[in-house]
Amino acid sequence: MTTQRPRAVTVLRWFGLVLLAVIAVFFVARAVVEIATVDPARPESYEQDWGGPHYLGVVAVHAGPGLLILLSTALWLRRLTHQRKTHHSKK
């Protein structure tokens, strides 16, 4: 006997996943733009930004969340593929 989730729960779960994906894409794009546009040799390009006046602070604040998302995604995918390989080898 299998129990099915109510449709509202399924819809809310998908809505939450899509919302998380949009937020993740935003943070990753923000990290790429910040790293590409801020010149570490020109402090005036970042000294008024959050995390300033030091370049590492600016990168940590603006690119840190995106980098954490990329790292988390890579670890999650690695774990997922490892589980699939383990599951297929048991058959």
pLDDT given for residue 84 in this prediction? 80
Model confidence at 51, pLDDT cuts 50, 70, 90, reads: confident
Higher pLDDT, 24 or 6: 24
Q: What's the whole-number average pLDDT of the chain? A: 89
Dist. CA 38–CA 74, nearest whole Å: 26
Dist. CA 66–CA 30, nearest whole Å: 7
pTM: 0.74
